[in-house]
Amino acid sequence: FCIYFSGICEVAFALLLISIKTRKVAAWMIVIMLVIFFIIHVQMLIDNLDNDNGMFWLTIVRIPIQFLLIWWAWLYTKNPQPKS
């Protein structure tokens, strides 16, 4: 259920980014979602370390990518500047 729900949220938030009126709210929702995912990814890293899982290296690579995605979504939370 959680996987499907998060996928639906990702698509809905992405669609909300299209309109300038909903872009700021959608971006903040994406930032919050990615922070929650970060917490989950850290737990996955710990679990893979404890289980000596071959996927451990992927969980290490995922962490910096998560910060990049949070930063990218955060850029959309700023108010658009009027062009002069």
- Report DSSP state, residue 77: T
> Is 59 in contact with 45 (CB distance < 8 Å)?
yes
Q: Name the pTM for this structure.
A: 0.76
Show pLDDT as tens, one digit a residue, over the chain (84 residues): 778 888 898 899 989 988 888 889 999 999 999 998 888 888 888 887 777 767 777 888 888 888 999 998 898 888 654 454
Report which of 43, 13, 15, 40 is spatially closest to residue 26, judged by C-alpha positions: 13
